[in-house]
A and B are shown apart, each in its own frame.
Chain A
Amino acid sequence: MAETTTFSGNRALQIEEPLIFELGSAGRVGVDVADAPPVDEDRLSGLRRKAPIGLPDLSEPQVVRHYTRLSQKNYGIDTGFYPLGSCTMKHNPRLSEKMARLPGLVDLHPFQPQKTVQGALEVIDTLAHWLKGLTGMPAVAMSPAAGAHGEWCGLMAIRAYHDDHGENHRRRVLVPESAHGTNPASAAMCGYSVDPVPATDRGRVDVAALKAKLGPDVACIMVTNPNTCGLFEDEILEIAEATHAAGAFFYCDGANYNAIVGRVKVADLGVDAMHINLHKTFSTPHGGGGPGAGPTVLSEKLAPYAPLPFVVHDGDGLRMVEHPESSGGAKPFGRVKGYHGQFGVFIRALAYILSMGSDGLRQASSDAVLNANYLLARLGGTLTPSFEGPCMHEALFDDRFLKDSGVTTLDFAKALIDEGFHPMTMYFPLVVHGALLMEPTETESKETLDGYVEVVKALAAKAAAGGAADEFKAAPKYTPRRRLDETQAARSPVLRWKPGSNA
């Protein structure tokens, strides 16, 4: 049912764009490089490349146009409302981008003598100071590169603590079934077995079940709070107390920390370790899937096991500790990545934090929760909320409102795309059927939310009226590509371009 309405296949601003491999012409170049004298092969151990690489040759104007056109096939926060639950798609301030490009910050090598990078160490130290102050936790491991990496870092510290205290029999980790998939995967990487904890019909951890599973072989619990249903675990103090009484640690998945910044100090919840997604809570860009950063705050007990490197105050200046021997008696469990952490992300997060301040950060959490509850209230009568409110920063619905319509959660989401919105998160968390998880974030105006609510209501009404299933299944219709065949992609994988491939 391809609509050929133009000779070119283009549709005005939607322009078809070939692969770079289909654009090149040998001998063109997009960068002027000075001529080199002939290569001294002796100095290459006779290992000069024999065959050509096969890369296409393009000029700068072709390259600029290629990527500009590709960008126009993407939806970003800058484009419109992006209520992707659990992902925190909020406005990314451009000041952060500008600061991250100051030559005095970006053009630094991690192995320069430390006295030539005192300002860079100050960026790291100042951000660490804020993260500790906001959470009430005494220490923070800055180097994890992402949320999952931070989870693993926290669990490694827990494992190192237990090994150091003769408790290496603690090998079981309790993980609620509503958890992100990274939680059990991170636990497995630390040699832990994963024991799932069921949820109650209130969408929260079943505390009785959790208590029954606690025992002398449990290393820690991993609880997301606010949880993946967008609810605050209201029995969290009891959970923490029982966990500690069993000699285990409380790892908090901080993916949803953005709901409570400045309204709760996580130290007051009994947390021993928690990663913070700087790319969510502190508004650094998601960049189409990274880079992120996942600094992990640690309690007094776990702090000595924090990985290398870390910054300490030393005399008049700051010092980056890179080896256990110079760590002042700490017992770092190792190193989690190269160099000194996601510095470029740190600059952006710090620029955001300094802009917001403690008052602005508290207001941001408040508005994020207000916006989610507003969606819950306005859509509650049309869609089917999974749990009773109030919610925190995201509103969860299930697919009961689509019952007998022939329309699935997926179809509904795809129809939203044609209406100019990015869909909500679908089919997560797994604990409700056909989940639709909406996270509006604090940077969306009431007008945007109202516009979205009207469209969702209209689509729900259309689905409920019946007879529209085929139309929903045909959505999206106005995108550069319509629904893609994921089965074919997985069954006969084509993961790269090859010369002569008829792509």
Chain B
Amino acid sequence: MRYLPHTEADRRAMLAAIGAKDVDSLFRDVPAAARLDQPIDLPRGQSEMEVERALSRMAAKNLSAGSVPFFIGAGLYRHHVPASVDQLLTRGEFLTSYTPYQPEVSQGTLQYLFEFQSQVAMLTGMEVANASMYDGATACAEAAVMAARVTKRGKVILSGSLHPHWRETTETTLKYTGLECETLAPDPLAMEDLMGRVDSRTACVIVQNPGFFGGIKDLRPLAEECHAEGALLVVAVADPVSFGLIEPPGAMGADIVVAEGQSLGMGLQFGGPGLGLFATRDKYVRQMPGRLAGQTVDADGKRGFVLTLSTREQHIRREKATSNICTNSGLCALAFTMHLTLLGETGLVRLAELNHALAVRLETKLKRVKGVRVLGNSYFNEFALYLGEDKDASEVVDALAERGILGGVAASRFYPEWPELRPILLLAVTETTTESDMDALVAALTEVL
């Protein structure tokens, strides 16, 4: 077996040094009734070539996003990832290192985490960010728990603008914690009014901006209302590219910002792994979940970095920790920070403008399709298209797929229990969307509607 170095002679010599008859005798603490004396009845090992063949066969059964006109978003966006990001990610010193518990031999990881934290804080307009969570959905759930801890209150209000997976993950996380979720109806028109809902029991309000259906809102009045009632405002963001164009949550009064970082650096990967971004204000840092890298000096007085404030974490605090989280999404954070460093201020702003302009272009082109209209009056790079009263967007998606177009996602995929959302199709564009992709979509939509 190519990954196992021992020869039979090595094994014999080692057993002799141990003073054991055979390897089986090393397993003698396993109850005899539970010991297996043969490999389990599953396929035997295969060569590289055979494994490549098996997985390539599975790959061939899929329609990959890049091979067709593609308009799916709904929380995950297909942006172009520069070639150097993936090339650098495969460096073994990044790929095969552990959590940087030994800072003297982990300055690479610790420095990029420090840089990552700084970038996330800047993007979101917040004071401090952690070294990442599993994904946007779990970061959102953690924000709810943290807000309850900060405010010592028990009610969390989930806006209808929130991604349904983030909402479900948050509801599940709170289920047995004694905290209560007040979940509002899906909000395709971005008309939801949260004013007046916040009261003295409210720990936080969680809104997404731009919303799941695309709408962008001025959150300042809501932030004021939350703060007047002693509650926190949590703002969720699905595509960090939007930070290049839209006023950041921190500037609108957010107390915690959570986001999905996948769209920078990582590609789609069928939705996982993701990268949870988590940022807040300095005064809440000791209530924050997750790992933190911090700056310090070494024995020679040189600048260096360490993991810090770990008294919040499970390995020290056990059942009293701020979260059970032990890992972060280290390599995904590296991909994110590398992509963002390549873009810089200039590139990110240009990219965000381009994404928005292309979405506007698609809306313009869709005016040629009879009976459809964009819902709401603002969006970044994704909007909700209303197909007409008697239309079922999920059938339209299937019909588009038959024509070789991955034409968005039906709102009913997330909300089967809401018949009024059946005619709504979510369409996203990015810099990867071409003029001819848009024309193909428009032509196909005209045909199937």
Closest Cβ–Cβ distance, residue B140 to chain A (whole Å): 9
A223 within 8 A of B: no
Are B398 and A39 interface neighbours, CB within 8 A?
Answer: no
A339 to chain B, nearest CB (A): 3
28 A-B pairs whose Cβ atoms sit less than 8 Å apart in the complex? A27-B346, A55-B119, A63-B342, A89-B96, A102-B55, A105-B55, A111-B76, A112-B401, A119-B60, A148-B326, A149-B134, A262-B39, A285-B96, A288-B331, A290-B329, A291-B273, A338-B136, A343-B272, A344-B273, A355-B45, A355-B46, A355-B48, A360-B4, A366-B23, A479-B104, A483-B298, A495-B128, A496-B127
Kindly state whether residue A205 has any CB partner on chain B within 8 Å. no
In-complex Cβ contact of A33 among B93, B99, B354 (8 A): B354
For B376, give the chain A residue with the smallest CB separation: A45
Residues B58 and A123 in contact, CB atoms below 8 Å apart: yes
**B309 contacts the other chain (Cβ, under 8 Å)?**
yes
Cβ of A455 to closest chain B Cβ, rounded Å: 16
Produce 1/0 per residue, A458-489, CB < 8 A to B.
00000000000000001010011111111011
- Contacting residue for B109 out of A19, A74, A104, A474, CB 8 A: A74
A69-83 at interface with B (beta carbon < 8 Å)? 70-79, 82
Q: Which residues of B contact A107 (CB under 8 A)?
A: 64-67, 78, 267-268
A185 close to B319 (CB less than 8 A): yes
Task: Kindly identify, within residues 330 to 383 of chain A, every residue whose CB is under 8 Å from any CB belonging to chain B.
Answer: 333-345, 347, 350-351, 354-364, 366-367, 369-371, 373-374, 376-378
Judging by beta carbons under 8 Å apart, are B34 and A484 in contact?
no
Would you give the 0/1 interface string for A488-503, flagging 1 where the beta carbon is closer than 8 Å to chain B?
A: 1110011111100001
Complex interface: stretch among A206-214, A232-240, A296-304, A396-404: A232-240
Interface size class of A (residues with CB under 8 A): 35 or more
Q: Mark A140-154, 1 if CB is under 8 A from B, else 0.
A: 000001111101100
Residue B171, interface by CB 8 Å: yes
Contact flags (1/0) for B145-167 with A, using CB distance below 8 Å?
00000000000000000010110
Q: Please tell me if the beta carbons of A356 and B267 are within 8 angstroms of each other in the complex.
A: no
B88 pairs with A36, CB closer than 8 A = no
Which residue of A345, A390, A392 is within 8 Å of B273 (Cβ)? A345
- A286 touches which one: B34, B96, B171, B218 (CB < 8 A)? B96
Contact B94 A71 (CB under 8 A): yes
- Flag A109-126 by CB within 8 Å of B: 1 or 0 each: 111110111111011001
B107→A73 contact, CB < 8 A? yes
Q: Which residues of A contact B342 (CB under 8 A)?
A: 30-31, 58, 60, 63
Task: State the CA gap A64–B338 with chains docked (Å).
Answer: 9
Contact check: which of B29, B51, B102, B413 meets A355 at CB < 8 Å?
Answer: B51
Proximity bits, B114-135, A CB within 8 Å = 1, else 0: 1101110111000111011011
A134 touches B40 (CB 8 A): yes
**Which of A39, A73, A340 is in CB contact (< 8 Å) with B270?**
A340
Known: A74-B106, A156-B175, A285-B331. A268 touches B118 (CB 8 A): no
Pair B3/A91 contact, Cβ less than 8 Å? yes
State whether B377 touches A36 (Cβ < 8 A). no
* Residue pair A119, B58 in contact (C-beta under 8 Å): yes
In the complex, chain A residues whose CB is within 8 Å of the CB of B25: 390
Q: A64-B84, A184-B314 are in contact. List 16 more A-B contacts (CB 8 A).
A: A33-B431, A43-B356, A43-B379, A76-B96, A78-B93, A112-B401, A188-B324, A262-B36, A288-B331, A289-B330, A290-B327, A337-B274, A347-B55, A363-B1, A417-B102, A481-B302
